[in-house]
């Protein structure tokens, strides 16, 4: 008579706690944000006033709009250095078309289309021609701004304040500018897209295990191209709003803008190697960059010090982001050697 063996004990996987699942870099930057508000609030009596906070929201808005899209790009393990040039190009395009008598509705569509076009160029060359996005966007950064400078010969193009586009830059609702509300809407859409959709899952998967995602039947090249198209579209929106806010289009606007955007994304805890993106962190990072610039201005510090401080903060954030990663691995990743990008036969 056979003896039945006792059933093996059931081992339940322990569910990670809230602390284990939290993005530690994002939590750290949230603490830094609170500290910055406290320091500048004590140092300057005007910092925590409603008028200044409203002004801060407007200052952060354009950076935040592009940073939301950049979160998708960096999460896929790519980079886009051309966003500042795209902002300048679209601002010039907007001003030139308005000055030529085009209707505002047509100008808005053209501005968004121009940004989307440059994003598609970056995405197509990097995703389908296997040119590292670092190299592609470094080249298009120069080309796009050069075209804007050639078009305007270095002069600013004024926009009639009576036009609808110009009114967008001055519009307010509940004490906050239209730019701030547009940025808020962009954050909500970006957050839902990253956390609640299949596209967001693919973005995170490509950044961490691209080959596994590709073997699962996902067109990873198309996802990466779409991510870069999103930054182009966001830069188009930012260029349009920049022209509306300043009342002119200049080929020299948004200089080093890509530094601020990348700083916002990385500061918030998005992994520079891809695979881990956080929209909440991006908001925190954008606020930090804006608070630094705004607070130093209120304290009467030289405006030339602001990019120095921003650069130092970005360097510190990258150092924290790279803990556990080798510098050589980062260099290989940026030059396109970090992962095997050759397709295997199905």
In this structure, the dihedral spanned by the alpha carbons of residues 79, 82, 83 and 85, taken in order and rounded to 10 degrees, is 170
pTM of the model: 0.84
How far is residue 98's CA from residue 266's CA, in Å, rounded to a whole number? Answer: 36
How far is residue 176's CA from residue 57's CA, in Å, rounded to a whole number? Answer: 8
pLDDT, position 1: 47
Sign of torsion over alpha carbons 219, 225, 227, 230: negative
pLDDT, position 338: 43
Backbone angles phi and psi of 249, in degrees to 5: -120, 130
Question: Which residue ranges of the chain lie beneath pLDDT 70?
Answer: 1-25, 314, 317-318, 320-346
Whose tokens are 């699942």? That residue is: 21
The span from the first CA to the last CA of the chain, in angstroms, equals 53
């Amino acid at each position: 008579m056979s003896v039945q063996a006792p059933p093996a004990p059931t081992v339940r996987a322990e569910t990670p706690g809230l602390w284990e699942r939290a993005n530690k870099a994002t939590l750290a930057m949230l603490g830094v944000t609170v500290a910055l508000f406290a320091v500048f609030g004590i140092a300057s009596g005007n910092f925590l006033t409603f008028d200044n906070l409203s002004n801060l929201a407007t200052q952060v808005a354009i950076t935040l709009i592009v940073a939301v899209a950049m979160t998708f790009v960096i999460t896929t393990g790519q980079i886009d250095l051309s966003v500042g040039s795209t902002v300048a190009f679209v601002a010039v395009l907007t001003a030139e078309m308005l000055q030529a008598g085009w209707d505002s509705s047509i100008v808005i569509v053209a501005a968004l289309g121009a940004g989307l076009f440059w994003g598609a160029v970056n995405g197509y060359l990097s995703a389908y021609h296997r040119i590292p996005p670092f190299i592609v966007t470094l080249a298009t950064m120069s080309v796009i701004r050069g075209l804007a400078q050639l078009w305007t010969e270095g002069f600013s193009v004024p926009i009639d304040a009576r036009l609808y586009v110009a009114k967008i830059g001055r519009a307010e609702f509940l004490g906050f500018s239209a730019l701030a509300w547009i940025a808020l809407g962009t954050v909500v859409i970006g957050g839902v897209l990253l956390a609640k959709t299949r596209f967001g899952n693919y973005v995170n998967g490509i950044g961490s295990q691209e080959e596994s995602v590709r073997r699962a039947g996902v067109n990873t090249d198309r996802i990466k191209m779409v991510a870069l198209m999103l930054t182009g579209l966001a830069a188009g929106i930012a260029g349009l709003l920049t022209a509306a806010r300043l009342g002119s289009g200049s080929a020299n606007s948004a200089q080093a803008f890509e530094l601020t955007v990348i700083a916002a994304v990385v500061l918030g805890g998005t992994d520079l190697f891809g695979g881990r993106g956080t929209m909440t962190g991006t908001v925190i990072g954008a606020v930090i960059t804006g608070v630094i610039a705004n607070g130093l201005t209120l304290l009467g510090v030289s405006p030339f010090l602001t990019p120095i401080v921003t650069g130092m903060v970005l360097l510190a954030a990258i150092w924290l982001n790279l803990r556990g990663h080798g510098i050589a691995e980062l260099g290989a990743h940026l030059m396109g050697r970090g992962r095997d990008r050759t397709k295997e036969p199905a």
